[in-house]
């Protein structure tokens, strides 16, 4: 088991917030991206943060967006579409979306609607 699987979402989330805010994006946009991927709403996100849910449990609880396989490209030196471990792929999907948000990509493109 990879050690990132046991990382708390509550530890990762503030890192994402810092990353996107440093690039002029908002926490609301970050939440929108995470909620699109996971099917969670604001209350679900806050609950996972408060409960220090591991990434493994976070994604076990998620209803992955059917368009998630449209997320492609390289993140952390790996092509997300080629990652074999389903949990690692979901984590990297989230990383990729956050990276796209921080890079200023249009929200419609991030959410694979355009």
Delimit the domains of the chain by residue range.
Answer: 3-105
For residue 114, the model assigns a pLDDT of 57
In sign, the C-alpha dihedral spanning 75, 53, 1, 61 is negative
- Could you tell me which CATH number the domain at 3-105 has? 1.10.8.290
Q: What is the pLDDT of residue 2?
A: 84
CB count, 10 Å around CB of 51? 13
How many other CB atoms sit within 10 Å of the CB of residue 25? Answer: 20
**pLDDT under 50 in the chain at which residues?**
none
Query: What's residue 1's pLDDT?
Result: 67
Report field, pTM of the whole predicted structure over 0.85: yes
Q: In Å, how far from its chain's centre is CA 109?
A: 15
Per-residue pLDDT at 81? 94
């Amino acid at each position: 088991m990879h050690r990132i699987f046991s990382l708390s979402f509550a530890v990762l989330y503030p890192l994402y917030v810092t990353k996107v805010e440093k690039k002029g994006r908002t926490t609301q946009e970050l939440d929108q991206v995470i909620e699109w991927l996971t099917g969670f709403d604001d209350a679900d996100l806050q609950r996972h943060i408060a409960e220090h849910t591991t990434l493994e449990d976070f994604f076990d609880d998620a209803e992955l967006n059917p368009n998630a396989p449209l997320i492609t490209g390289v993140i952390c030196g790996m092509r997300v579409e080629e990652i074999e471990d389903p949990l690692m792929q979901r984590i990297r999907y989230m990383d990729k979306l956050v990276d796209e948000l921080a890079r200023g990509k249009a929200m419609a493109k991030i959410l694979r609607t355009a």
